[in-house]
Structure 1
Amino acid sequence: MLKKLLLIIVLLNAVTGMAQECPDLLSPVDGASNVPVNTTITWESVDGIPGYRVRLGTSPGGADIAEQSVGSATSYTPPLGLPENTQIYVTIILDFLFQGGSDIVCASQSFTTEDVTVAPNCTTFRNPLNGATDVSVFTNFTWFYAPTATGYFLTLGTFPGGSDILPQTDIGNSLSYNPPGQLPENQLIYASVVPYNENGSASGCTEISFTTGELAPLPGCTNLTNPVNGAVNVPLTPLLEWTAVPGAVGYRLTVGTTPTNANVLDNAAFFTNSTFVLNFEPNRTFFITIVPFNAAGDAIGCTQESFSTLLGCGPYLDLATGEFVSLNPEINFPDTVSFCENLAPFTVTTEDVADGFRWYQIDPYGNETLLSENSSVDLTSNGTYRYEAYNFVSQSGNLIECPTSKEFEVVSSETAIIDNLLATEEVTTWRVTVETSGIGDYEYAIDNRDGPYQDSNVFSGVTPGNHTFYVRDKNGCGIAEEAFSQDLTVEGFPKFFTPNGDTFNDYWQFIQPKNTDAIVFQSIRIFDRYGKFLKEISQDSEGWDGNIAGRPLPSGDYWFKAVDVTNREIYGHFSLKR
């Protein structure tokens, strides 16, 4: 299934003339100052971009310092450093050329380098190495960049400190030197390289020595024949082939994902002009350098080539439609899934369209346990889970998976239990607090099962009379209800009593009102003003004497709850006076 991404609207804006969103510099940031001259430039990654090119210059869009393709890498280190005390303009180019498209040139960003005030340190040779033997008489001298250096002096001689082969020569700001002729055969040779800048030359640099071999012609360079330089849609396990070179006994291959690294093959020697390389990454550009060699040494000046593997799951830029395409399935799954404990196990089923599915439970340590490989899964406990949908895609004879996944949380709920309806008398109405227990996420309503519901469990302004309160689990696990009756005009319960032993009003008890039908109570319960249960009295008892366990309670307001034989509840309060 192909998924078209809206990202193309952004990426093709430069082509269509619309505003273009491009990556920002991460280091150095735009406008930075006093930046080291040997800094590495990094920028944000842009999804779906097959490659980047970087221009460095002293003017917006300029490339007078460097211009380099870096493949899918999002960093670049100038091999010769940067000029000091200079405003450097960085231009990032979204490189679609090898896909048959057009480059998208982003607006330049800039920073200013430091003012270098000291001479550089020494450096070391890359080739030849100190103590090497049988070095080709046609060898090319190379060395590492010395930070802050703006040039190098090279000296070659047949004795320590000698300069009879090459007097001290200013090579300029270069990291290599190819002697115009051949070096002496079978000769111990001494070499030194000294970095310099405007502040002076490095001091105390040591020279190396090596021994040349017999005179023999060096092999020439070669080039890729499969895939050809610049090829796209290269299989993930390609057969690399190159032109055989007369006189070469082998070939050294360096392959990396940027022009300057060797993270796939690092100068690996092959003795035929082809080799398989297993499992290249999809949707990346690879840079390859092939150097033939023989007894005389390595070929000199061989150039770097590149190819791109645009296989895999994408996203790819479809130049025919101008849209990004992904082979991963599109999924629509919530962040949280809830189930009712009384209905466990709870079955979750996805409606996403894909070739296959997997469900995993994740423990607190991040370990995953596979639960199901179907479109549904049974869940029995709370926790963290991962849902994965995938498509099978056939590419170059291989069947690959293109997955999309999402972590989600599982929580459980249950129908609420209404423990109490706590009523507080206001002026002419009541304030009722619905006290519940349970593990659900609850909401509350009064007099209508269908709501409206509120998150608060407190209702103010409840009029006297009969009411029903509803508690609904937000996850659909049920609705609890409780009837409530409070009539401010009810008679029969005294408003006060005075338990002082004078035989008048010494007990608090319900008194049957005259000229009304008889009211029969199942229970009459008494509470203090904090809602703490104190005493239950029966309707046919003498009543409450104001004591608990023989201890007189203090004067103050007390509450009661009476339940009649029809389960009607009556709430009220009274005063104890001493």
Structure 2
Amino acid sequence: MRYIHITFLTILLFNGLTIFSQGEANNWYFGKNAGVSFNTTPPTVLTDGQINTLEGCTTISDATGALLFYTDGIRVWDRFNTIMPNGINLKGDPSSTSSALIVPQPNTPNIYIIFTVDEPHHDNADNDPSTVDGDGINDGFMYSVVDMSLNGGAGDIVAGQKNIPLITYDTSDPLQSAYKCSEKITAVKSDDCDSFWVITHFVDTFYAFKIEQTGVNVNPVTSKIGVTVPLSGYRRNALGYIKASTEGNKLAVAHFGFATVTAGNGPGKVVLYDFDNITGAVSNEIELYNGDSPYGIEFSQSGQRLYSAIGIGNEGIGQSFLLQFDLTLPDIDIPASGTRILNENGVNFSSFFEGALQLAPDGKIYRTQYEDFATDTGDYLGIIENPEEIAANVIYVEKGLLVNSDGRRGVRLGLPPFIQSIFAQTIDIINSGDSNNANLSLCEGETFRLSYQNIPGATYTWFVDNTPISTTSNFLDITATANYRLEVDLNDGSCPLVGVANATFTEIPPSIPVTLIQCDLYQVMGDNLALFDLNLATDQITGGNNQFSVSFFIDLPSAQAGTPALTNITSFENNQNNQLVYARVTDNNNTNCFSITTIELQVNATSANDVELRACDDDGIEDGITVFNLLEADPLILQGITTAGLTLTYYQNIDDAQFNVNPITSYSNTTPNTQGDDIVYAKVEESNGNCFAIASVALFVNPTPEIEEIGAYFLCQNQTNIEIDKGVLPNPGLTNFTFLWSTGETTQSIFVDQAGTYMVEITDTSTQCSNTRTVEVTGSSIPTITSVDINDASNNNTVTVNVQGIGSYEYAIEINGVLSTYQDEATFNNVPPGFHVVYVRDKNGCLPEVTRDIAVIGFPDFFSPNGDGFHESWNVDGISSQMLSDSLIYIFDRYGKLIKQLRAGTPGWDGTYNGKLMPSSQYWYRVELQTGRVLTGSFSLIR
């Protein structure tokens, strides 16, 4: 049960040796509150970073990968992400390509040196070195000293050792003194194994400062060589990284531009040099690339490949690409080896800005991908997965690591620089084949051997958690969690070889046997076969600890081998009673630390009563579908069973019952009027949760008596009572009913003498299913005409009949002996003048109907007494000796002379006056009705 999980190599700093591992570079803070930890594989995004910088930043951890502090070149945050008390106002700049770099002081515990690089501020308007922008001062190249024993062990900058300047310019040149530095800084271990070189470049000179046990040697080794970066436009020209190879024998520089004016910048360059890490001298310039805007640069771990991130165009704004150079070639051939790297989509450029490149502890190279100035961030770091490969085989993933998953942090242009020697290839004491990976995940109780080849004359020193032990052999057997380091001194004057293993021994998971009890399958009772959900054993096996995962196997050899695992674990069918299956319990943190236990599958063959459950189709919809209350079957299923403490749960099908999923308490049948066609299942369980039995419940739907719709009856005032009926329709198969009226009567029909609502419950005696009929009895009466409103002597004569009574009435009118159709409205329109009859009757049939004679008054517009038998006289319509007999009618000529006076019921005017024919003309009338109403108007006499 042993397993080695490979992650990354960690080498410790101890005592007098300047021994570095990749642990010091395991934590990165950069950009907008962004961070990445390489203490895990794959790396983990950090969300606690406080840094907010466009470019410059750096971080340092201890040899085991524990964070110490980080800075943007101005402020210093400790491992608790709190600014150190004296950790402010350093002289770097967040817009400097490499605003800071941290180097430990050799052989001096707790002392670290922060080198800061200011941005070369300059006023682009007048090219006057004395007029600068930014903070108004160009602070150049400085260093500050951090003592990690201060501030309760969280570290602080030593008083009086802050912002100490270093000379990196020609003091005789006033223009250089305005700039003082470029934005480039790198560091590498010296060949003496006991000191470091910190290297920067300015204009045309490399400055190599040596850091020894006594601190910083302020007198640099200078190498004036190669290209000259013009001071004019230096604020842009100074952009770009410098990097040393991990072995310290090469330097590479990305010059962003060579502008000779302050506005914009000209094409940049990528340049390669030899570096003597004994003397600090730089030599042998090789110009690799001339054009566009180089910015990021980085060696592969072996130093055989060089990469540069180059912005397209002289400004380097927008698109960019990665370029690889093959450093295994002769110097003269290296420039021609420059090849663009394709991303995973086969494209050799990207829409991201040129950005930093940084080798990581996992041997991969990471690239910032700043998307645009509008969002001020990017979300991903790109990853060169295999930097040692030739360009055609390089795998570059643009969206390699998502840094900004919540919109609160993001990638910008810079990544933290480190001492490049940290990433040097080291010896593999785990013997995994990958010296970059040295995390060991082991299991408690096992022994693992760390070892390196036995070299004659070499001295082997082992350290456990940074403490030397007495073992001096080339191997060490380990059994406990710790950090293990081997230093191999070849005793030939070279630096010791170092290998590290971070071993974690994980506890073996528990192995608790479990028994699952299931009821025999209902379909084949007695065969001792059932379906089991093996997952139900997981919590019992692991105790509910989600640190452990469980897989299941048919036999022990399969469980030990871890394959083949069972796949039908949620519906596993046993092949015999008390069958054993095997569970492999694995620690999720170390998938090869596992234990094996058994699961016994017991089948309970006891039974409960299969029953029938009947229900009436009484849901108000005669569709043969109803809802069954399944709990009503409880006493039937348990009848005669003496076992105490049983509980019942109902399920729609056998599988649900077997696995205790989707329980139900009610059920609507799917087969209309089912007679046992629909079946549900009751699972009977004991108090300990074990299955006792599974019973079937056959469902039957009984019909309810069919009845008429709600009945409506009317009781007239002149009736003593009426009979209302049960209203039962023919019911096939149902012949015997009982009746219970709301009046208490039990007959099929009853007599009632009052209006109201009456109900009868009709029950089928064979099924006891009932239905209820409701009967509404409405009172009604013969109408009484109280008045008739007549609006006459107009173009639209109307008649409105006013009635009293409790009934619902309808109306008709008889005109010239013709009766109209009855209507619900009591008003008649366009009634002609004359004598008519109105009729009113009860809609519900209460007799008799009632009538009233009416007269509608009207005046003819003309008459023509010419003997033709038509319109021979003029008289008022609707007035007779029987109706309005006391009314008087006066006729005047146009001069107002009374020509004729008539009384109601007398013949009309014949058109004469005193026996003489009156001429054709317009004549006027005045009618004085006996009601007091007076009507006037005119008419024509036509001859």
Q: Whose relative contact order is higher, 1 or 2, with alpha carbons under 8 Å and at least 6 apart?
A: 1
TM-score bracket, normalised by the shorter chain, equals 0.3 to 0.5
TM-score normalised to the size of structure 1? 0.38
More strand by share: 1
TM-score normalised to the size of structure 2? 0.25
Rg larger in 1 or in 2? 2
